[in-house]
Amino acid sequence: MTTSTTQAQNAEPQNTEPAEPEIIDVLPLAPLQNGLLFHALADPEALDVYTMQSTYRFAAPVDVAALRQACASLLERHPILRAGFAHEQFDTPVQFIPAAVPLPWRQLDLSADPHAGRELERLQVDERQAKFEMSRPPLIRFAYADLGSEGGALVVTNHHILIDGWSDALLVTELLRHYRAGGRDQALGEPAQFRNYLQWLAEQDEQAARGVWRDQLAGLANGTLVAPEAAERSAVLPEVVEMDLPDGLTDALIALARTARVSINTVYSLGWSLALRRLTGQDTVVFGSTVSGRPPELAGVDEMIGLFLNTVPVVTELDPHTRVDALLRQVQARQGESLQAQFVGLSTIQQDAGIGTLFDTLYVMRNTPEDDAALDRLSADTGLLEIEGGDATHYPLTFIVHPGDTYRLILAYQGEQFSAAVAGALVESVIATLAALAAHAQAPLGTALAAVADQPQSSGLAGTVRQLGEDSLVALLERTAAAHPQRPALVDGARTLSYTELWAEVSSIAGWLRAQGLGPGSTVGLGLPRGNRFVAAIFAVMAAGAAYIPLDAAYPDARAAKMFTTAEADAVLLEPGSSRDAALLAAAGTRVLVLDDAAAAGHAGAGAAQLHSGYTHADTAYLMFTSGSTGEPKGVSVPHRGLVNMLANHRREIFDPAIARVPDRPLVVAHTVSFAFDMSWEELFWLIEGHTVHVLDEALRRDAGQMVGYLREHRVDVINVTPSVASALLAEGLLAAGTHHPALVLLGGEAVGAEVWDALRADPVSEGYNLYGPTEYTINALGAGTGGSAVPVVGGPIENTEAYVLDSALRPVAEGAPGELYLAGDGLAHGYVGRAALTASRFIANPFGVPGTLMYRTGDVVSLDASGQLRFHGRSDAQVKIRGYRIEPGEVQAVLATDPRVGSAAVLARRMPQGHVALIGYVVPAAGADTEEARAGLLDAVRASARR
């Protein structure tokens, strides 16, 4: 609820001492003031990007005394310029107005300095970087540099929380009038005060206005975020790229606005919307837009000094079938619906929307009042030569339209997150898009966009093309067992299997499966405990010609039954005495088979060729289930070809370099990943190649401290973990001095942060290798070593793989620009079991490949850097990864909604203060439900549904 002026005046601070100097007013904050105060206080040591600065250059001679008095007159006439801000003593922050404040004035004599220009720049930087203490007014200061015969420079630095750009333009005029009058222009009338606006604000119906915004944002699934997800976001001043519109385009866009009967602002905002569509692939985009916030019904509002500006969300639905002129009218009408609600604070709007951050880009149409003739007269009278300066925002991208005879487009960007090349290409794409809109005003939007000329660029990246061998993974394992019969193959706790013993177990189980009628075309669930037998069963199912479906021990029976029903599984293997509900699984149409030593006895001896003589690389190897947005898990059917290709790639790119660092012996590899996660194949490839794999049990793989101890005790050479697990291992001393370090740390399943990347890059023994790939592309599609890049990257394509970075129209984006990643090649999955429509929507025709070939739309946003490496920026949809697992919040939300104690529910992913991502469920209890009982029950349900 908005704090009224009266409430703020009567607020009683707790445990306060008499204030000095005299306080004449205490007022609530305007919406944007609240936001800027938050940013100012969030990190007291960081640069405050909302510190504004303007430098006035005067010709000689300069009346310094009059100029100083002119500055003092501004503070005397406008209480808002004397405001300080308090928050700790009050329930809500307030601004207090002292009766008077000392004039913050600094003066330098650079008249005899041969480097006066450089010293002036240093003064500007020093003033810009010196933070204001928000509770110690005034939050404005003045510094004057005497430049001798070159005149002088007045540097005015203030916090944005006091004034907006409109007010700044008014202050320029008033300052010059005071200076012209010798320090105080007595002809100026009593100014209208910002206090009047705050009183008006308190009288508004905030609840009704919030309802307007809820309607505006209804149905929005997620915000529009373009900044790299893993980027380090320190407070820095933005870089800027500026471009004037080409000859004729300014007039063409004005004509478009006139023809479509919309404002010119609507035309440019549509141009920015389409730029965001190209960046994110979203057909509904959201961005922030600044509004003047000056209600026309408030007397004298155009002449008031203060922060009226507000930032509000703009939602644009971009239907390629809608005519351009009609779309412009729709955009303007939608924005018009919120005109009477533009005083609501952004934090309140976002809270009501309930979907997290709505946007991370800002659109600004410069509309400050400018009387060029009056300013020219004042400049001539006072010797003002020029005014330079500006402001900044915390947003990664701020798109500014500067009106004029020729419009200018300005993009302010955070250099830590975007390169100059990306920023320049983005502005160029906006210009090209605007030109297309002007030329196709009465055509469908899709036609206009198709006319936008593509920048010359390559169609994608391609890994080395190699011919695959004909052997299956099972045949390769059999060959390794024959070559190294007594070498330890698998270790789980106290039990070790040699390669001879492993192959005997694989052969026995495979023969038994064939005897049960399970072979080519069959699907077999694996509900065995984690250990050597699970590994043997994987290869046995494949040896029999069938495909396996892995079950994690934490999967509830209901989820397993749903998976088996979807896959039409023929059988499931359980251990004797399994806690699984065999009846429930059988009800799904799945035959339950108990696998023990006796069951498989007598079936050993057959080789891979005998067990499955008709093997081809196109045969299905496994079905891996991932999260689904509707609450139904998706089963991905993966052929052998991708596994064979990946092993061949890894042998050359990963295994051989690691073996060279640990020569003359087999490597020791720790298997730490759930078998229900396709990343678990990384360790199995090492097994096929003849190395010793330790299968860590459930308790050990979930305890970072114990795992580090195990790795040291057994001198493990290779580990394969998610970055979040790697971070925990590092915290437990994985790379501590004087201890055993693994030669290779494989990373996958989620984005790698700078901390993990830097630690592995700096270690003299351990090499890190980042592997990226969706389940739909057989585990890995891209890869890169930590030694090859100073920042985290996902690298380039593996062998026989193509990677394309495309916009929403399947056009290649410019180098450095974010786009959606598409994958094609030997790793492509068959699709989703029983989900033909979904398969068709994600596995689409490849316009860059041989006719008839497909590519997979990953939903991941990446960019290609100057070194040819791909960088990961996040998702283009609501999907998240938690500890390496793909999770659709909608699936968890669906679980919550089925509980009768729940009226409505929403689930969002949030980055916690500790740095990890967590799911947070928001629930409105049904009428009469016990809240605490519902909370406990829902937590159990979610754990059972989502754990892996």
Q: Could you report the per-residue pLDDT of 837-861, keeping only the tens digit for each?
A: 999 999 999 999 889 999 999 999 8
β-sheet with 51-58: strand ranges across: 105-109, 140-146, 152-159, 51-58, 384-390
| Of 15-24, 81-90, 137-146, 497-506, the least confident | 15-24
Instruction: Give the pLDDT band of residue 90 (cuts 50, 70, 90).
Output: confident
Q: Give the per-residue SS3 of 514-544.
A: HHCCCCCCCEEEEECCCCHHHHHHHHHHHHC
Please state the rounded mean pLDDT for residues 78-92: 91
Amino acid residing at 239: E
Helix (H, G, I), strand (E, B) or coil at 653: helix
User: In this structure, are strands 692-695 and 51-58 parallel, antiparallel, or unpaired?
Assistant: unpaired
Q: How many residues does the chain have?
A: 948
Tokens 């010196």: give the residue.
Answer: 130
Average pLDDT of the chain to the nearest whole number = 88
pLDDT at residue 794 in the model: 94
pLDDT at residue 941 in the model: 63
Minimal CA–CA distance to 85: which of 159, 193, 142?
A: 159
How is 19-60 classified by DSSP, letter by letter? PSS-EEEEEPPPHHHHHHHHHHHH-TTS--TTEEEEEEEEPS
Give the HSE-up count for residue 791: Cα atoms under 13 Å, Cβ half-sphere: 14
Alpha-carbon distance of 654 to 174, in angstroms, equals 69
pTM of the model as a whole: 0.66
| Cβ atoms < 10 Å from Cβ of 166 | 23
pLDDT at residue 232 in the model: 46
Q: Is the pLDDT at 656 greater than 90, yes or no? A: yes
Please state the rounded mean pLDDT for residues 753-773: 94
pLDDT at residue 120 in the model: 95
- The contacts of residue 156 (CB under 8 Å, 6+ apart) are 53, 54, 55, 56, 71, 140, 141, 142
Task: Report yes or no: 821 and 481 within 8 Å, Cβ to Cβ.
Answer: no
Q: Is the pLDDT at 928 greater than 80, yes or no? A: no
| Cβ atoms < 10 Å from Cβ of 883 | 17
pLDDT at residue 103 in the model: 97
pLDDT at residue 234 in the model: 55
Alpha-carbon distance of 718 to 742, in angstroms, equals 6
The domains of the chain, with CATH numbers, are: 5-198 (3.30.559.10), 241-369+391-450 (3.30.559.30), 498-616 (3.40.50.980), 888-946 (3.30.300.30)
Please state the rounded mean pLDDT for residues 30-50: 86
Instruction: Give the pLDDT band of residue 420 (cuts 50, 70, 90).
Output: confident
Helices (H), 231-300: 249-260, 264-280
Which tops the pLDDT comparison, 39 or 383? 383
| Cβ atoms < 10 Å from Cβ of 48 | 24
Instruction: Give the pLDDT band of residue 897 (cuts 50, 70, 90).
Output: low
Dmax (CA) for the chain in angstroms is 110
Query: 444 — phi, psi (to 5°)?
Result: -60, 150
Please state the rounded mean pLDDT for residues 865-887: 68
Task: Report yes or no: 108 and 144 within 8 Å, Cβ to Cβ.
Answer: yes
Ranges 44-48, 518-522, 576-580, 812-816, most confident: 518-522
Alpha-carbon distance of 864 to 813, in angstroms, equals 9
Which tops the pLDDT comparison, 632 or 83? 83
- The contacts of residue 892 (CB under 8 Å, 6+ apart) are 907, 919, 921, 942, 945, 946
Q: Is the pLDDT at 391 greater than 60, yes or no? A: yes
CA dihedral in degrees (818, 819, 824, 827; nearest 10)?
60
Secondary structure letter of residue 787 according to DSSP: G
pLDDT at residue 12 in the model: 39
Instruction: Give the pLDDT band of residue 947 (cuts 50, 70, 90).
Output: very low
Residues 426-460 have pLDDT tens digits of 899 899 999 999 999 999 998 998 887 544 444 57
Which tops the pLDDT comparison, 375 or 730? 730
Residue 886, strand partner residues: 881
Query: 320 — phi, psi (to 5°)?
Result: -65, -15
Alpha-carbon distance of 616 to 602, in angstroms, equals 27
Instruction: Give the pLDDT band of residue 154 (cuts 50, 70, 90).
Output: very high
Task: Report yes or no: 671 and 746 within 8 Å, Cβ to Cβ.
Answer: no
Instruction: Give the pLDDT band of residue 905 (cuts 50, 70, 90).
Output: low
Q: Is the pLDDT at 527 greater than 90, yes or no? A: yes
Alpha-carbon distance of 203 to 226, in angstroms, equals 37
Q: Is the pLDDT at 97 greater than 80, yes or no? A: yes
Alpha-carbon distance of 421 to 405, in angstroms, equals 27
Residues 213-232 have pLDDT tens digits of 999 999 888 888 887 654 44
Instruction: Give the pLDDT band of residue 418 (cuts 50, 70, 90).
Output: confident
| Of 411-420, 510-519, 808-817, 858-867, the least confident | 808-817
Residues 601-612 have pLDDT tens digits of 878 777 777 777
Instruction: Give the pLDDT band of residue 943 (cuts 50, 70, 90).
Output: low
Ranges assigned E (strand) in 323-447: 361-365, 384-390, 397-402, 408-413
Percent of the chain with pLDDT over 70: 88
Token readout for 216 is 């505006």
pLDDT at residue 435 in the model: 96
How is 914-936 classified by DSSP, letter by letter? TS-EEEEEEEEEPTT--HHHHHH
Residues 681-731 have pLDDT tens digits of 999 999 999 999 999 999 999 899 999 999 999 999 999 999 999 999 999
pLDDT at residue 2 in the model: 35
Minimal CA–CA distance to 859: which of 282, 324, 319, 296?
A: 282
Instruction: Give the pLDDT band of residue 240 (cuts 50, 70, 90).
Output: very high
User: In this structure, are strands 620-626 and 384-390 parallel, antiparallel, or unpaired?
Assistant: unpaired
pLDDT at residue 873 in the model: 83
Token readout for 639 is 């052929």
| Of 281-290, 387-396, 452-461, the least confident | 452-461
Helix (H, G, I), strand (E, B) or coil at 797: strand
Alpha-carbon distance of 346 to 278, in angstroms, equals 25
| Of 4-18, 144-158, 457-471, 512-526, the least confident | 4-18
Q: Terminal CA-to-CA distance of the chain, rounded, Å?
A: 43
pLDDT at residue 631 in the model: 55
pLDDT at residue 917 in the model: 60
Work out the angle at residue 247's Cα, subtended by the Cα atoms of residues 246 and 249, and round it to the nearest 5 degrees.
70
Alpha-carbon distance of 486 to 665, in angstroms, equals 14
- Inter-axis angle of helices 264-280 and 324-336, nearest 10: 100
Which tops the pLDDT comparison, 124 or 10? 124
Token readout for 383 is 């010797």
pLDDT at residue 21 in the model: 73
Residues 545-556 have pLDDT tens digits of 999 999 998 888
Q: Is the pLDDT at 948 greater than 60, yes or no? A: no
Residue 140, strand partner residues: 158
Alpha-carbon distance of 686 to 442, in angstroms, equals 61
Work out the angle at residue 532's Cα, subtended by the Cα atoms of residues 526 and 536, and round it to the nearest 5 degrees.
55
pLDDT at residue 890 in the model: 55
Alpha-carbon distance of 743 to 87, in angstroms, equals 53
Residue 863, strand partner residues: 871
How is 422-491 classified by DSSP, letter by letter? HHHHHHHHHHHHHHHHHHTTTSBHHHHHHTSPPPP--S-EEPPP-PPPS--HHHHHHHHHHHSTTSEEEE
Instruction: Give the pLDDT band of residue 589 (cuts 50, 70, 90).
Output: confident
- The contacts of residue 146 (CB under 8 Å, 6+ apart) are 62, 64, 107, 108, 109, 110, 111, 152
Work out the angle at residue 861's Cα, subtended by the Cα atoms of residues 648 and 229, and round it to the nearest 5 degrees.
110
Buried b (16+ CB within 10 A) or exposed e, 377-414: ebbeebbbeebeeebbbbbbbbbbbeeeeebebbbbbb
| Of 13-22, 133-142, 236-245, 280-289, the least confident | 13-22
